[in-house]
Amino acid sequence: MNGRFAISMHILTLLAKANGEWLTSEFIAGSININPVLVRKEISNLRNRGLVVSREGKNGGSALAKPASQIQVSDVFLATRQGPFLGSSRNTPNPACPVGRQINKHLDNLYQEAEVALIQKLGDSTLDEFSRRFD
C-alpha cells in the first residue's frame, strides 16, 4: 500500500465516526495534517468508487455512501492501489536473454497471486470493525 491508502482509511474512519454529519475537507485535513486539496482529491477517488458522497456549497462536505459495515478494507485497498500493486516491473529487460525475455510475465503472475491473497485477507475486515478499534 501507499500513502494514499493511509489517507483514505483516515478519511473513511472520520466519516464512519461522524454519525451522519457532513465533514468538510478542511476539517478532515486538520486531522490528517495535510493540505485540504489532497483530501478533496482522495475523496474524489473514493466517490468514484461509490464509497463516499459529497455535496457542494455552503454546509457542504462528505459522508459515507453506505454503512461502514458494508465497506471492506479491501475496497479501500483496491480504490487506492496504483498499477500492479507490488511496484510493478518497470524494467525493460534484455529480450535476447531467455530470463530477461520472460521475467516480467512470471513476476506479474506472482504479483497477482500475492495480491489475491492480500485482498482476501483485507476482505475479512470492514471499516466498521476498524473504526471501532479507536477509543
Partner DNA sequence: AATATTGTAATAAAATTTGTTACAGTTTTG
Partner DNA sequence: CAAAACTGTAACAAATTTTATTACAATATT
Nearer Cβ to DNA, position 40 or 127? 40
Where in the chain does DSSP place strands (E)?
52-55, 61-64
Of residues 58-77, those binding its own copies (CB under 8 A): 73
C-alpha cell, 1: 500500500
Give me the residues that bind DNA (CB under 7 A), please: 2-4, 23-26, 34-38, 40-41, 43-44, 47, 54-62, 82, 87, 90-91
- Closest contact distance (angstroms) between CB of 107 and its own copies is 6
Distances (CA, A) of 17 to 10, 63, 88, 109, 131: 11, 10, 35, 39, 7
Q: How many angstroms separate the CA atoms of 60 and 55, rounded?
A: 5
Identify residues 15-34 at the interface with its own copies (CB under 8 A).
17, 30-34
Q: Which stretch binds its own copies (CB under 8 A): 46-54, 62-70, 87-95?
A: 87-95
- At closest approach, how far in Å is the CB of 92 from its own copies? 6
**CA atoms lying within 13 Å on the CB side of residue 71:** 26
Choose the contact partner of 63 out of DNA, its own copies, none; CB within 5 to 8 A by kind. Answer: none
**Residue 10 binds which one of DNA, its own copies, none, with CB within 5 to 8 A depending on kind?**
its own copies
Instruction: Go through 75-92 and write b for each residue having 16 or more CB atoms within 10 A of its CB, e for each that does not.
Output: bbbebbbeeebeeeeeee
Tell me which DSSP letter residue 34 carries: S
Do residues 4 and 43 touch, judged by C-beta distance below 8 A? no
50 lines the binding site for its own copies (CB under 8 A): no
Contact positions toward its own copies, by CB under 8 A? Answer: 1-3, 5-7, 9-10, 13-14, 17, 30-34, 73, 85-94, 97-100, 102-103, 106-107, 109-111, 113-114, 117-118, 120-122, 125, 130, 133-135
